[in-house]
Amino acid sequence: MRSHWKLSEPRHGFPHAANTNQILSGKWQRGKVIMPYHFSHPVNSKEYCTLLEKKGPTLIFLRGQLNFVLSCLNESSIYRFKKKLSEEVNLFIRN
């Protein structure tokens, strides 16, 4: 979140980073989490991936979440891996 703020890159209505980690790790599921319509955040990694494809930010800084990287970002025609910023953080850029 700080990176997007420092780069003047909007989050495009995506949830806070802490919530994103919970969504991608499967801690939010339909039926368990009732998402108010006005937020309309995704509640699982598949919905999150779809939302990224539709209206995702230019830059994605991702720490961990290897399953999401493999199942969504590496398969995406919209995003490409740019570089590894540290042992844990990867940078993806929207085409």
Q: Where are the domains of the chain?
A: 2-94
Phi, psi of 12 (to 5 degrees): 55, 35
Pairwise CA distance, residues 57 & 59, whole Å: 5
Q: Which residue has the tokens 């540290």?
A: 86
The model's confidence at residue 1, banded by pLDDT at 50, 70 and 90, is low
From the CB of residue 37, how many other CB atoms can be counted at a distance below 10 Å? 5
Nearest Cα to Cα of residue 66 among 42, 95, 94, 88: 88
The model's confidence at residue 92, banded by pLDDT at 50, 70 and 90, is very high
pTM of this prediction exceeds 0.85:
no
Element (H, E) at 90: strand 89-94
Specify the higher pLDDT residue, 83 or 36.
83
Over residues 50-70, mean pLDDT: 84
